[in-house]
Amino acid sequence: MSEATSHEIFLGRQPILDRSGRLVAYELLFRAGHAKAAAVTDDALATSSVLRHAFADLGLQSVLGGCRGFVNFDAEMLLSDVVELLPKSQIVLELLETVAVDETIVARCRALKAAGFTLALDDFVFDERYRPLLEIVDIVKVDLLLHDAQELAEVVRRLRQWPVKLLAEKVDSKAQADYCHDLGFELFQGYYFAKPAILTARRTDPASLTVMRLLGLVMGDAESHAIEAVFKENPNLTYNLMRLVNSAASGMPRRVGSVGEAIIVLGRRHLQRWLQLLLFSLQQGSPHPSPLLMLAAGRGKLMELLAGRLPAGDSDLEDRAFMAGIMSLLDVLLERPLADICAEIGLADDVRAALLGREGMLGTLLRIAELCETADAIDAISALAESLGLAPGDVGAAEIEAFKWVNDIALGEV
């Protein structure tokens, strides 16, 4: 692997939730270089290199915020000295299912546990060879695709012999999430909250309808008094708007006292962004930042940043890229077909084409953003980026910047 290739880094994140729906960790998907013909040992060296550069150069705060990070380790990586370079308080060492359990691996895991590391088993299927590790590891990840409902219940029953936390991964539906919750799983991984199924129309909650109405007015360049009138009909939205404008982050030298003044001070572009994010934060039942908000905001920011790096990029294109990214999950949030939602909000033609058919420049950017949420997509990401004239490394750099921005949202700093 050449030095130039080793610096071409893509870094994906998959969210991990606790029983209350709070985002507590990410599985980090490190990818470096082009590995079409690389041997396993080359993959290990690539991962080692990326880990060093990621944590030394990028900083964990940008990547993880306040969450923990699960990182995959094969046997070679687990036995290497790169492990000791990782911050044990934030990194969970995830042993791949390909790791052969022998005395050397058990001794290494025991030493790492004694040193303060948290260990997890990936894609667990009950086998006697895992018994020595079950005495050591902290978390067991159970892939739902490998078990039917009865088998899953039996695996949970048998694993309760050890004081391990159970993580359900590849959760593809609310029914699966509820079943795993009932079985006692402590952690959940998967995009079940962001997987469009066969959508049926339902009545959207009034708050979301109001925000969509405001979005339509703002994007349609309506008069300020018309926007102000809608806010005045909704005290909660008015309160949130005034709190946003008068927050320390806004940098205003004096307090803003009216809705009309707040709209002017905030500006149409920032008002539109805030309304888009607000749609995803209106979900009921959780005091924590919504994982769907994090995913949608991350898509929007990544697309905005990449649009700014395009040879023909400009601020208008960046705004439309952000819009396409954040709206790409509205069908999941509102449980309505995206075509119906697009019909209710005035959208530019290229935004609509990107959302409904992944067409055009914005459609390609959206495909890149979606691929960044999956593993083993480096070649597809690189090919799409190259087709737009993006330089090697642009996607990875934009990912990290988008991660930091999304983390700031979770902390209420945006």
> What is the tens place of the pLDDT at every residue in 18-38?
888 778 888 887 665 444 333
Statement: residue 195 has pLDDT above 90: no
- Given CA atoms 58, 119, 112, 375 in this order, what sign does their dihedral have? negative
Q: Establish if 200 belongs to a structural domain.
A: no
Q: Which two tokens stand for residue 169?
A: 């991964």
Last residue of a domain, one of 170, 194, 218: 194
Query: 136, 117 in Cβ contact below 8 A?
Result: no
Q: Establish if 74 belongs to a structural domain.
A: yes
Identify which of 190, 163, 239, 241 has the alpha carbon closest to the alpha carbon of residue 373: 190
User: Given this model, what pLDDT does residue 59 score?
Assistant: 64
Q: Establish if 25 belongs to a structural domain.
A: yes
Per the structure, the count of domains in the chain is 2
In this structure, what DSSP letter does residue 128 have?
G
Identify the band that residue 374 occupies on the pLDDT scale cut at 50, 70 and 90.
Answer: confident
User: Given this model, what pLDDT does residue 326 score?
Assistant: 83
Distance of CA 271 to the CA centre of its chain: 23
Statement: residue 403 has pLDDT above 90: no
Write the DSSP assignment of 42-109 as a string of letters. Answer: HHHHHHHHHHHHIIIII-HHHHHTTSEEEEEE-HHHHTSTTGGGS-TTTEEEEE-TT----HHHHHHH
The residue count of the chain comes to 414
Q: What does the mean pLDDT of the chain come to?
A: 78
Q: Establish if 226 belongs to a structural domain.
A: yes
- Give the count of beta carbons closer than 10 Å to the beta carbon of residue 125: 13
177 and 276, same domain (yes or no): no
Question: CA dist 69 to 113, 347, 352, Å?
Answer: 16, 37, 35
Domain containing 358 equals 206-410
Longest dimension (CA), the chain: 73
Statement: residue 184 has pLDDT above 90: yes
Q: Which two tokens stand for residue 144?
A: 């739902």
Statement: residue 405 has pLDDT above 80: yes
Rounded CA separation 138/164 (Å): 5
Last residue of a domain, one of 194, 228, 261: 194
User: Given this model, what pLDDT does residue 258 score?
Assistant: 76
Statement: residue 104 has pLDDT above 70: yes
Identify the band that residue 74 occupies on the pLDDT scale cut at 50, 70 and 90.
Answer: confident
Rounded CA separation 196/337 (Å): 9
Q: Which residue in this structure is represented by tokens 């995913």?
A: 295
Query: 294, 410 in Cβ contact below 8 A?
Result: yes
User: Could you tell me which residues come within 8 angstroms of residue 247 by beta carbon, excluding any fewer than 6 positions away?
Assistant: none
Over residues 394-406, the mean pLDDT reads 86
Statement: residue 16 has pLDDT above 80: yes
183 and 268, same domain (yes or no): no
Over residues 363-389, the mean pLDDT reads 87
Q: Establish if 258 belongs to a structural domain.
A: yes
Q: Which two tokens stand for residue 81?
A: 């000295």
The H-assigned helical ranges of 310-346 are: 315-327, 330-334, 338-344
Q: Establish if 199 belongs to a structural domain.
A: no
26 and 114, same domain (yes or no): yes
83 and 28, same domain (yes or no): yes
Rounded CA separation 253/101 (Å): 63
241 and 309, same domain (yes or no): yes
CATH number at residue 145: 3.20.20.450
123 and 20, same domain (yes or no): yes
Identify the band that residue 228 occupies on the pLDDT scale cut at 50, 70 and 90.
Answer: confident
Question: Does the pTM of the predicted model rise above 0.75?
Answer: no
Identify any residues that bridge with 128 across adjacent strands, giving them in sequence order.
Answer: none
* Cα dihedral: 148, 151, 157, 162 (round 10): -90
Last residue of a domain, one of 137, 170, 194: 194
Q: Which helix (H) or strand (E) holds 377?
A: none
Between 383 and 62, name the one with better pLDDT.
Answer: 383
| Percent share of the chain, pLDDT over 70 | 76
Over residues 382-395, the mean pLDDT reads 89
- Give the count of beta carbons closer than 10 Å to the beta carbon of residue 42: 13
353 and 251, same domain (yes or no): yes
